[in-house]
Amino acid sequence: MSNSYGNPKGRFGTLPVFFTAISTILGAILFLRFGYAVGNLGFIQSVGLILLGHLVTIPTAMAIAEIATNQKVEGGGEYFIISRSFGLNIGSAIGMALFFSQAISVAFYLIAFGEAFEPLYSWLITNYEGITISMELFKKLVSLVGMLLLSLLILTKGASVGLQALYVVVFVLFISLISFFLGGADFAATYSGNNLLNITVDDPDSFFKVFAICFPAFTGMTAGVGLSGDLRDPKKSIPLGTMAGTICGMLMYILICYKLVISASPEALATNQFVMSDIALWGPIIPIGLACATVSSALGSVMVAPRTLQAIANDKIFPSDSANALLSKGKGKDNEPFNASLIVILISFIVIAAGNVNFVAEIITMFFMVTYGSLCMISFLQHFNADPSYRPAFKSRWYLSLLGAIMCVYLMFKINFTYAVMATIIMVVLYVAISYFRKEQGGGMVAIFQGALFQLNRTIRIYLQKRDRQGEDATWRPSVICVTSDTFDRFTSFDLVRWISYKYGFGTYIHQINGYYSNATHLESKEILSRVLELTEQNSNVYVDTIISPSYTSAIAQAIQLPGVAGKANNMILFEFSKLNPVNLDQIVDNYPLVKAGNFDVCILGSSERAYSKRKNIHIWIKPIDYENANLMILLGYIIWGHPDWDIAIIKIFSILPTETISEESEKLFNLIKEGRLPISANNIEILERNSDTDIKDLINSKSKDASLTILGFRSETIKNNGKEIFEGYDEMGSILFVNSSSVKEIQ
C-alpha cells in the first residue's frame, strides 16, 4: 500500500487549519440563512439549534483530535482516519461519501457566492434599462464565472496560493463581522427585550426544517483536516485548529443570534436574506463579507476534496488500475492532485447548474452526518478496545463520542427521512461495489470490534463469576462441555451440544489430540481446530477448541477445570460412544467417578447409525429410580425440542410406576407438566404399571424403537455395581441420551 499522500515535507502549521475551519463555519449559511432561522425559531430555539448542531460537531471535533494525536494522519484527512480505523472497504465507502459531500460543498459555496451579488443586480435593474435576464439567471452566471476563476486558480497555482488568499478572505470576514456588531437598525430603538421570549413570525417553519438548512454552517470544523498531508505536524495542528475553530464558531453564532434578535423584527429576519446589511455599520460590507466567506469556504473545499479523492485512488479502491494511477498522480514537487481537482471541478459545475442553496444544503448534511457519525463511532469503540497501541495525547470521553454517533443517525432521519434512506442506500451500494472489486485486507473495523467485544466479554464474565460466588443465581441453565476424539468419525455429540446451547444453555466442544504438548502437536492442534471450525460453521452457539493430552482421563481432568464459555463454571459434561462399536464405553465408565467428584450433571450419548432419524419425536422414560433425574431429563427434552431442527417433533413421556403409587405419582407428573408450562400434551404422557415380571429394557425397546431420541436416567450406584452393561441392550433403538443429575432441578 502506498503511503505517498500529499506533500511529504509538509508546509503549513496550525493557523491554516483554524482559518479553513472558522471561515467555513462563518460562511454562506451565516450571511444568507441565519436571519431566516432566527426569524422562524426565535432566540431560545435558535440557541437550541446551535447547541443541538454542536452535540454533533463538538464530539466529532474531539474524536478527530483524539485519533489524530494517536496516529500519523497522512493525506486525505478524515478519509485517512476512517479507512485506517474501519478498514479500507468500509472506510473507502464512507470516504467516497465524504468526497462527494466535499465536492458538492464547493458548488454550494459558489451558489451562495452568486447570492452575494443580489444587491448588485437590484442596483443594475434600478439604474440601467434594457437588462433582460432574470435575477436567478444572473446569480447562476456569477456562480459559474466564480467557479471558473477558482478552477483556474487551483489548477495553475495549487494550495499555496489558495492559502494565501485564505488569509485575505479571513481578514475581510473579520471586518464585516465587526461592522455588523457595531451597527444598528431602526428596530433596535424600539426593542424592549420581548424577542428573547421566543417571538417568531406567524406560521413559522418547523424546527427540523430550519435545522436541515442551517446545519452545514457548523460542519466547517473538519475542513482543515483535509490539509493533513500538507501540515508539518498534523498531531499538533489538527486538534488545536479543529477545536479552536469549533468553539470559536459556536460562541460567534450565539452572539450573532443575540445581535439579530435585538436589531430586526422576526418578519425582516425571515424574509430578507440580507438583513445583516441593514444592521451593519456599513451595509455593503456584508455582501462583500459573504462573497469572501463563500470564496474562502469554496477554497477550503476545493483544496480538500481532491486530496480525499487522491488518497482513495492511492489505496487502489477503484476497479480500474489506470483510474487509480490517474487520480492518485500528483503534479510538481508538492504533489498537487491536479487530475483529482479536475473531477471536483466537473462535479461542481454540474451541481451549480442544477441546484439551489436550500436543496444542496440538505444533501451535504446527509453525507456529513455519515462521516461524523463514523468518526465518533471510531472514538467510542477505541475507548473500549483497550488496544495498547492506541495512546492518543488528547483524549475525548466515550460518552461524548457515543452521543455524537447517536445524534448523527437520529438527526439524519429527523431532518429528511427520504434523503437519509437515499444516503444509506448509496453507502451500501458503494460498500458492496468496493468489496466486489477489492478484497478486504483484514484489520480495521474487525479489529476494533473484536477488541471492544473482548473487553465487554471480560467484564461480563467477571461479573457473572462474582454473582455466582455470591449465590445470586436463581435459575439453572445447562453449561455443557464435551471432550471427544471422534469428531471426524461422527457428529452426533456436536449436534447435541449445538441443540442444548442454541437458546437456553451454553456449550463447549473440545476435540482431543492424543500426545504430549510440543511445538509439533501445537501446530497440529491449530490445523485441526481450523478443520473442526470449518465443519461446525453451521449456525451454532458452540465454542469450539482443541486439547492436547496423552490420555482420555487427563483430557477430562483438564477440561472439567476450564471456565465455562458463559463466564461461569461448566455444570454438565457430555460423553459419547457408538452403539455399534462401543470401544470407548469402558473409558467413559472408568472416568465417571472423576467427573462426579466435581458435582457435574452427566450425559452419556449412545449414538446410533441412524443418528437422530428424522427428528420427529423425543421419548423421555421416567423409572421409579429416577427421582433426582426426572426433572433434568424433562428440561433437556424441552431445551433440545426448542431448536429449529426439531420444529416438527413432539415430546412423549413414559412413566413406569409401581401399582401402589401409580395414582399419586401420575398426578404429580401431570401437575409438574402443567405448572411448569411445558409444551407437552397430556395425551403424550403414558403411565405404565410395573409388575414383577416386567423387563424394563424390553419395554423401552418396544415402545421407543422408532424414536428420534430417547432420554433415560441412570444412578451412580447402578453404574458402580453394573458398569457398562446399563448402557447396553438397546440395539433396536436410535440414539439414546443417558442422564444423571447431580441434584434435583426445579421446574418453575
- pTM of the predicted model as reported, rounded to 2 decimal places: 0.61
Same topology, domains 14-441 and 475-740? Answer is no
64 close to 222: Cβ distance less than 8 angstroms: yes
Question: Residue 186 — left, alpha, or beta (φ > 0 → left; ψ -120 to 50 → alpha)?
Answer: alpha
Is the pLDDT at 574 greater than 80? The verdict is yes
Question: Residue 729 — left, alpha, or beta (φ > 0 → left; ψ -120 to 50 → alpha)?
Answer: left
Domain positions in the chain are 14-441, 443-473, 475-740
354 close to 342: Cβ distance less than 8 angstroms: no
> What pLDDT shows up at residue 303?
79
Is the pLDDT at 471 greater than 80? The verdict is no
> What pLDDT shows up at residue 421?
86
Is the pLDDT at 5 greater than 90? The verdict is no
11/236: higher pLDDT:
236
Give the rounded percent of residues in the chain with a pLDDT score beyond 70: 83
> What pLDDT shows up at residue 607?
93
Window from 21-30, 54-63, 393-402 with minimum mean pLDDT: 21-30
Compute how many other C-beta atoms are within 10 angstroms of the C-beta atom of residue 532: 19
> What pLDDT shows up at residue 6?
45
What confidence category does residue 444 fall into, taking pLDDT thresholds of 50, 70 and 90?
A: low
Domain 14-441 in CATH: superfamily? Amino acid/polyamine transporter I (1.20.1740.10)
332/120: higher pLDDT:
120
pLDDT tens-digit readout, 611-658: 787 888 999 998 878 878 888 998 999 899 989 999 889 999 998 887
Is domain 475-740 given the CATH code 3.40.50.12370 in the classification? yes
The DSSP call for residue 193 is S
> What pLDDT shows up at residue 108?
81
Question: Residue 131 — left, alpha, or beta (φ > 0 → left; ψ -120 to 50 → alpha)?
Answer: beta
For residues 621 and 101, give the distance between their C-alpha atoms in angstroms, rounded to a whole number.
68
Give the rounded percent of residues in the chain with a pLDDT score beyond 90: 20
> What pLDDT shows up at residue 76?
61
> What pLDDT shows up at residue 191?
52
671/251: higher pLDDT:
251
Which three cell numbers mark 357?
A: 442553496
What confidence category does residue 228 fall into, taking pLDDT thresholds of 50, 70 and 90?
A: low
Which three cell numbers mark 704?
A: 421407543
Is the pLDDT at 709 greater than 70? The verdict is yes
Taking all residues of the chain, what is their mean pLDDT, rounded to a whole number?
Answer: 81
Q: Residues 131-143: what's their mean pLDDT?
A: 81
Is the pLDDT at 386 greater than 70? The verdict is no
Is the pLDDT at 7 greater than 80? The verdict is no
Q: What is the CA radius of gyration of the chain?
A: 36
143 close to 110: Cβ distance less than 8 angstroms: yes
> What pLDDT shows up at residue 119?
79
Angle CA(600)–CA(603)–CA(605) in degrees, nearest 5?
A: 155
717/71: higher pLDDT:
717
408 close to 372: Cβ distance less than 8 angstroms: yes
DSSP alpha helix (H) spans, 69-206: 78-86, 88-115, 118-127, 135-182, 186-189
> The sheet that has 617-622: what strands, in order across it?
542-549, 506-514, 479-484, 572-578, 601-607, 735-740, 709-713, 617-622, 650-658, 685-690
Q: Residues 369-383: what's their mean pLDDT?
A: 81
